[in-house]
Amino acid sequence: MRSIILIIIIAFSVFFLKEITKVSALTITVTANVPGCGNNVIDAGEQCDGINLGGSSCLSRGFASGSLSCTSICTFNTSICNIFPPVINNGGGGGGGGGNNNAPSSIPNTNVVFTGRAYPKSTVTLLKDAQVVAMTVADTDANFQVTISGLSSGSYIFSVYSEDSKGIRSSFLTFPLSVTEGVTTKVGGIFIAPTITTDKSEVKQGDNLAIFGQSTPSSEVTVSINSENELFVKKTTDANGTYLINFDTSQLEMGQHSAKSKAALGGDISSFGKVVGFTVGAKNVIKELTEKVVSKADINNDNKVNLVDFSITAYWYKRPNPPKSADINGDGKVDLVDFSIMAFNWTG
């Protein structure tokens, strides 16, 4: 399974920061991708591969000096690139009166900007350390941008997820980031995995099982079905990003199975999303409403109902136009009824 691994190492010398004569706004750009690397050839979705840096250097990446290298996941390693140019001492000796005339009067804002693809007109939610901090709506092409400002220096765990037009939530993408004061960090190339569900919790062997969800428009969705031999089915999404596969279960043995999906578009590939389970048996069982209510109480799809879900719901308490994910009972508002359903399904 391909996974998204994001490591940002930002090292600053305290002495260096004290001596620098001018502070200006900085931007660090990080690409979140799912590479397949190791052959010294830069393929689609890779920034570099082994010793092949594609002609890039610390200088071309916006740094002043240093040595650029490639990580094991085919992303640039800029940990030993220098962000600031060397401090130039223009005062030779003698003369006195150096003073701090060039000292900065203020430090630029500290921001983190997330950009990528979700689903058309879908709600994209950003969490910081398991707390909802920002939300936005993707455009008709599924592109989104969400920004959080005013952060203090330190390490954070950011998570982003989306919800499709049917209220089905995606899996979480998590980004551990180390943030430095006065620096804008841009995390780009995010590709949220497709949503996925089935029309039946049990399907009679030989009958069709509807597997459907949503992704970016015109993307190629690959559905992996777990069986004795893993099976793959591909489908191109329509203009709304939706896909539907009527899967013939005659090729599956009796028993428990699962399915998951990923998407590809323009050389970019998402990770596999959440796993949905189903049974191949002797009868068809349509998914019941009670199963959906329990699923909705698990807002972040981690198979638990806990403080993370409570945090997301609390954010929308008595606010207008809540997303379907927070409105657990689907009455158009978030109130004590929704919290009661959550409490009933609480796992901790």
Same domain, 279 and 306: no
Confidence check: pLDDT of 225 > 70: yes
Q: Is the full-model pTM beyond 0.85?
A: no
Report percent pLDDT > 70 for the chain.
76
In a domain, 309, yes or no: yes
User: Tokens representing 128?
Assistant: 């910081």
pLDDT, position 131: 84
CATH of the domain at 149: 2.60.40.10
Buried-exposed string 138-162: b where 16+ CB fall within 10 A, e elsewhere: beeebebebebeebeeeebebbbbb
Residue-wise DSSP of 301-320:
SSS--SHHHHHHHHHTTT-S
Confidence check: pLDDT of 108 > 90: no
Kind of pairing between the strands at 26-31 and 183-191: parallel
Same domain, 114 and 215: no
Three-state DSSP class for residue 251: helix
| Segment 125-133 mean pLDDT | 88
> What residues pair up with 222 in beta bridges, in sequence order?
234, 262
In a domain, 265, yes or no: yes
Same domain, 306 and 336: yes
Confidence check: pLDDT of 323 > 90: no
CATH of the domain at 295: 1.10.1330
Same domain, 211 and 308: no
Q: List, for residues 160-172, the tens digit of each pLDDT value.
A: 999 998 888 898 8
Q: Tell me the pLDDT band of 153, cut-offs 50, 70 and 90.
A: confident
pLDDT, position 31: 61
212 or 288: which leads in pLDDT: 212
In a domain, 75, yes or no: yes
Domain count of the chain?
3
- Cα-based angle 161, 70, 129 (whole degrees, multiple of 5): 30
The chain-wide mean pLDDT, for the chain, equals: 80
Please list the alpha-helical segments (H only) found in the chain: 14-19, 289-297, 307-315, 336-344
| Segment 199-214 mean pLDDT | 95
Same domain, 207 and 307: no
Same domain, 217 and 141: no
In a domain, 7, yes or no: no
pLDDT, position 205: 95
Same domain, 64 and 161: yes
Q: Tell me the pLDDT band of 11, cut-offs 50, 70 and 90.
A: very low
In a domain, 94, yes or no: no
Residue 233 structural domain: 197-286
Domain boundary among 136, 165, 191: 191
Same domain, 215 and 278: yes
Task: Kindly report which listed range (36-45, 176-185, 219-228, 319-328) carries the lowest average pLDDT score.
Answer: 36-45
Same domain, 75 and 169: yes
Q: Tell me the pLDDT band of 91, cut-offs 50, 70 and 90.
A: very low
Domain boundary among 191, 222, 250: 191
